[in-house]
Amino acid sequence: MLGGGCIIELIKQLSGIAIEKGSKDSYGIPIILGDIVAKSLMLKRSELKSSLFVKKVNDLPKEYKIQLLAAFIVDEGSISKSSIKVCNTNLLILKSLRKIMLSLGYNCSKVKNYGDHVGGEIFIKYRKARINYQIYNLYMHADGLLKFKKDLDIMIKKYGNIAGLWQKQDILSKFSLKVDLNKINKSRISKKHLIPLIEKEITKGPIFIKEFAKRNDLDYIRAYKLFFRLKEKGKIKKVSPGMFVSKDYNGPIDFTLKSKIEKLLKEEFSLKEITSLTNANLKSVSAQLSRFCNEGKIKRIKCGIYSLS
């Protein structure tokens, strides 16, 4: 068996690269391997943790780029059935990493600021931590995740498990089985149609998410994500739970049940439908509809069914 010192000397000899040891270095195998990589790419050791290193790797063959991406996911990534997320405090590194994803054909998001949490507290791995720096996120979308796994499987078959995601490889395999590409494609198509629709409708006044979801045959969570995306972009603002207005809206906002019901009146409707859309108590909605009947605004056709007068 070779001792640690012998292995280090062997690596140095096989690499054919002269490496100088600093006086303060704890010179083990990881540092030597790092120096070999740095010198091969004509970089300083300190630049291995910079965006310049990521840019250099982007000019290398495909397998090198896949392995760099895998290393980031192992250290700073999290995997779900809809995406792989990589977090970092260095914006330039993530932007360079995004270029690698795109060059490999992996569909991904733009780099996003996690939020201005400087001085605040967030939970990291179920523990509260104080944030004194900006955090940025980069997402590889589900279809990119599948392509990445396919490429990674080829490398594992060629080089062994060391080329994989180590403890996260099983997580990647598990979630890749849950990806529904048909559902994803439908979602993207609907997003292109629905976001412009929200932007158009919201210029007319406040919109309740539940009402919008009902009109467009969407589940509430899907509709909420569309509104939240527009809110993040600063195009709309939230004025109450489930209610949004355009960013420039300065008109009156009536939260009363009466005003909610008035907006939902149409040629024919049911008590059950109005109750569902307003998320109100059945008795309260029934009482308000009775008042509208007395005022002559609507008329009762049969039990629980109404129409405009």
Q: What is the pLDDT of residues 92-105, one digit of tens each?
A: 999 999 999 999 99
Average pLDDT over every residue of 76-81: 85
* Structural domain contains residue 261: yes
* Structural domain contains residue 221: yes
Residues 77 and 168 in one domain: yes
Residues 283 and 233 in one domain: no
pLDDT value of position 97: 94
Contacts of 17 (CB under 8 A, 6+ apart): 35, 36, 39, 40
Residues 172 and 91 in one domain: yes
* Structural domain contains residue 36: yes
Percent of the residues in the chain that have a pLDDT greater than 70, as a whole number:
80
Number of domains in the chain: 4
Phi/psi-derived region of residue 166, left when phi > 0, alpha when psi is between -120 and 50, beta in every other case: left
Phi, then psi, of 298 in degrees rounded to 5:
-135, 170
For residue 27, the enclosing domain spans 1-43
CATH for 223: 1.10.10.10
- Would the pLDDT of 106 be above 90? yes
* Structural domain contains residue 54: yes
pLDDT value of position 119: 56
Average pLDDT over every residue of 5-10: 52
Residues 19 and 120 in one domain: no
Residues 130 and 54 in one domain: yes
Average pLDDT over every residue of 39-53: 83
pLDDT value of position 304: 83
Residues 55 and 164 in one domain: yes
Residues 186 and 88 in one domain: no
Instruction: Please give the C-alpha separations between residue 58 and each of 42, 73, 93, 94, in angstroms, as whole numbers.
Output: 14, 16, 12, 13
Single-letter code of the amino acid located at 305: I
| 155-158-164 Cα angle (round to 5) | 40
Domain end among 117, 142, 176: 176
Average pLDDT over every residue of 283-298: 83
* Structural domain contains residue 281: yes
Average pLDDT over every residue of 202-221: 82
The pLDDT tens digits for 126-153 are 566 666 677 889 999 988 888 999 999 9
Q: How far apart are CA 25 and CA 262, in angstroms?
A: 75
Average pLDDT over every residue of 260-276: 79
pLDDT value of position 161: 84
If you average pLDDT over every residue of the chain, what do you get?
79
Q: How far apart are CA 268 and CA 301, in angstroms?
A: 9
* Structural domain contains residue 151: yes
